[in-house]
Homo-oligomer: A and B are copies of this chain.
Amino acid sequence: MPEQKPKSDHWLRHRLHEIIFEADTPAGKLFDVILIISIVTSVIVVMLDSVVDLNLRYGQLFFVLEWFFTLIFTVEYVLRLSCIGRPSKYARSFYGVVDLLSILPSYVSLLLSAGKFFLVIRILRLLRVFRVLKLVQYVGESNYLQRALWASRRKIAVFLLSVFLMMIIFGSMMYIIEGAENGFTSIPRSIYWAVVTMTTVGYGDISPQTSLGQAIASLVMILGYGIIAIPTGIVTAELTFKPNISTQSCPECSSEGHDMNAKHCKFCGADLHPDKI
């Protein structure tokens, strides 16, 4: 195993780690860009391969490309394991599992004749694209959104719970009112209808036929239409809220409204924290 090699390998491993896991050196950026292109291309190959026409015509080419990318990702996986301090920890991490799952299906398909179920695993690899976002300034923006969503998680949970309960109640009501003869064949299917209607998706594969059913469906639609204002309001309120005003007043002129990061009073210039040195 690479991680038990002698100390003379230390420099190589450190350099590899820098290239593979960090993105602030030119080599690291290049590695990330090549990897992203490989991931996107391999995903497109998998997608196109699923189209019957294209599979019949270019199946051979797709097969070759598939193995080309599998070999690239295999090398990448081995390099990652070899240059990291604790390979077993990485192997069990989310990205370690995704990395393994993105190459395993190809090898397994040599033994089995499966295929179909392993497509998703390759797709999961796309999640790695998000790591690239760390590269540039996107990280600040991404954190900003995550913070806003995280800060409003309880309000969103209450909202989702209310919506779920309404969907169950309205779905069950429609099952009783419309019945199996109008497509509402079971309560779970009726709840599926309620989800389709309340989120304003409206496939139309199941739609109410009785007058009472249509009246309640109208109510469900208006509810779903209006209720979207609530999560929007929550997230907006969180994003517009700027809590950077300190509650401290100036010890000299007693003025208030100083920023969190202020050291001196913006009105008289006195030290706001005289006891700190």
Contact = CB atoms under 8 A, between A and B. Distances in A.
Contacts of A229: 228, 231-232, 234-236
A43 interface: yes
A214 B192 contact: yes
A183 to B, nearest CB: 11
Interface residues on A, range: 35 or more
A270 interface: yes
B154 A137 contact: yes
Nearest to A195: B218
A200 B264 CA distance: 52
Contact of A138 (B48, B142, B154, B268): B154
A221 interface: yes
Contacts of A268: 263-264
A6 interface: no
Interface stretch (A65-73, A105-113, A238-246): A238-246
Nearest to A120: B172
Interface stretch (A9-17, A86-94, A125-133): A125-133
Contact of A52 (B46, B129, B186): B186
A263 B266 contact: yes
A31 to B, nearest CB: 20
22 contacts: A52-B185, A52-B186, A120-B169, A120-B173, A130-B161, A130-B162, A192-B214, A195-B221, A195-B222, A200-B201, A202-B202, A225-B228, A232-B232, A233-B238, A236-B237, A237-B239, A240-B240, A240-B241, A257-B259, A263-B269, A264-B267, A265-B269
- Nearest first, the 3 A-B pairs at minimum CB distance are A264-B269, A201-B202, A262-B266
